[in-house]
Structure 1
Amino acid sequence: MKHITSRDNPLFKELRQLATQAQARRKAGRTLLDGVHLCQAYSQQLGAPEICVVSESALANTEVNQLVSASLLDAAQKICLPDALYETLSQVEHGVGILFVVPTPARAVPAALTETAVVLDGLQDPGNLGSILRSAAAAGIRHVFCSNGTVSAWSPKVMRAGMGAHFLLHIYENCDLVEVLNRSKIPVLATSSHTKTTIYQSTLNQPVVWMFGHEGQGVSAALMAKATQTVTIPQQAAIESLNVAASAAICFFEQVRQQLT
């Protein structure tokens, strides 16, 4: 394990850019996983990261020590930082003190959509996106397509909200969603308050594409035109609408329920 103590160290400067600049992460094709749970999930699903960074105090933590010492991480470059330097990288308050630097996958859009997928149009909130990814993975959905205007799926905040779901999904970013939907061989569903058909009246024991949009504006008109069905989620009239992440979870697990029965 290499110990770095200077802020002027070139590797530390590179890590600092990755931690603080979205543009640097995009250019490098890398991101940071912050915390024991995310790092454990990554190593279990995908193996060694490019770099493992720990704080000096974290080495006394049993979980961190076991993870750093595991044979799964033999291929990783291991860096130890004084706590003060480590804290300039981490966005987690009172965190344990371990993070991974990992590559962000670039995937080609499939030639056709034949299994259940999620299309996300312009989501802005990292917590919402991370929650949707987590629900999708839990529901057994593998493919998620994000528009150019959607927050980066691999940003540290989305990664934390996803709680490891990223490593079970195929995430496609900066997609032309109209073109994606043109490739669909299965029904395309969108939620709407302007329909009487509830999600519980829909036939979901088959693959479908789920569409969800911007927190305030919803799905664009161009994409709504691609929907083969709109459904509504019954709720009290006093509440105007559900949070998009909550809506997605209800849709995904109603589909799971129908498939199980």
Structure 2
Amino acid sequence: MKTIISAHNEQLKHLAKLLTQSKTRLQHRQAVLEGVHLLQTYLQSGALPEQVYLSPTRAAHPEAAELLAQLPPEKITLVEGEALAKITSLTEADDVMSLIALPEAKPLPQSGDCVVLAGVQDPGNAGTIIRSAAAAGVKQMIVGSGSVDIWSPKVLRASMGAVFLAEIHTRADIADWLCSYRDTVWATALREQHQVSLYQADLRVPSAWIFGNEGSGIAPEILAKVPFAVRIPMAEGTESLNVAMAATVCLFEQMRQRLQ
């Protein structure tokens, strides 16, 4: 195993930039997983990290040692002192940090179940939607150019590793993509025309679900291409749901209908 002593090490500087800068992640096609759980989920998906960084103390912990045993020694770097604490946002400063390569971009799907993030900017919401989609069996995630960076540390943590179960398409032009998508399109939006209650909609057919910005909703140029707006029935006196909660309700109603 390699060992790093100085906090000024170039590898650690690179990790720090990947953790904080979306443009660096895009440029190098890399991201950083913080913590044991994300590394565990990543390995379970069948992938291997490019490099794993952790303190000697953490490496001796049974939980971490079990994961390290699955890696070639050359992919493990021990970091002495408090060097990791200077760049991580985790409360446990000696935890595991894993450098991964981002998946290769693939053509956008033209059919099949999809979840589309159209301007979702909160990392917690984006991560929760990805997690709910995976639990509901939806594997295609299309992320519009105005949405949060899916590979940011906060989104990765909020997804609890579900991002590794999905095929992620980032920086998509959603309005343009909708012109080629062949199956049913649904959106959670407030409008009078072509609105249907969630529990009256037939969700048994392959569909794309579009979820919009937390404040302004779905952009008009996208909504204009959506044939059906879904309304989630709520108790009188309530106005709306958090976008992640709305997505979860919709996706699990879809799953419920298909299980019947």
TM-score by length of 1: 0.93
**Cα 1:43–1:148, aligned 2, differ >3 Å: closer, same or farther?**
same
Alignment map for 1:127-166 (pairs within 5 Å): 127-166=124-163
Bigger mean CA offset, 129-138 vs 183-192: 183-192
Cα deviation per residue 1:134-157 (whole Å; 9 max; x = unaligned)?
Answer: 011111111111111101001111
SS of equivalent to 1:212 = strand
Equivalence for 2:224: 225
Q: 1:122 to 1:82 in 2, by over 3 A?
A: same
State the one-letter code of the partner of 2:42. Y
User: 1:107 aligned to 2:105?
Assistant: yes
Give the AA of the match of 1:248: A
Matched, 1:260 2:245: no
For residues 10-31 of structure 1, give each alpha carbon's deviation from its aligned partner in whole angstroms, at most 9, with x where no partner exists: 2222222223322222211100
| Corresponding residue number in structure 2 for 1:190 | 187
The answer to whether the 8 A contact 2:35-2:95 is kept is: yes
Instruction: List runs of 5+ in structure 1 lacking aligned partners.
Output: none
Match of 1:234 in 2: 233
Root-mean-square deviation (CA), in Å?
A: 1.6
> Structure 1 residues 95 and 137 mapped into 2: Cα distance closer, same or farther (>3 Å)?
farther
Unpaired segments ≥5 residues, structure 2: none
Which amino acid in the other structure matches residue 8 of structure 2?
A: D
CA distance in 1, matches of 2:205, 2:64: 43
Shift of 1:83: 4.3
Partners of 1:248 and 1:79 lie apart in 2 by: 40
Q: Secondary structure of 1:206's partner?
A: coil
Residue 43 of structure 1: SS of its match in structure 2? Answer: helix
Contact 1:20 1:89 in 2 (8 A): no
How far apart are the structure 2 equivalents of 1:200 and 1:171?
A: 28
Which has the larger displacement, 170-179 or 21-30? 21-30
Distance 2:112 2:8 in 1: 49
Structure 1, residues 41-100: CA drift from partner, whole Å, max 9, x if none?
Answer: 101113320001112221232110111122xx1175211112411112321113661121
Are the equivalent residues in 1 in contact too, given 2:52–2:98 (CA < 8 A)?
yes
- Partners of 1:197 and 1:17 lie apart in 2 by 45
1:66-81 matched pairs, under 5 angstroms? 66-70=66-70, 73-74=71-72, 77-81=75-79
Residue 27 (structure 2) pairs with residue 27 (structure 1): yes
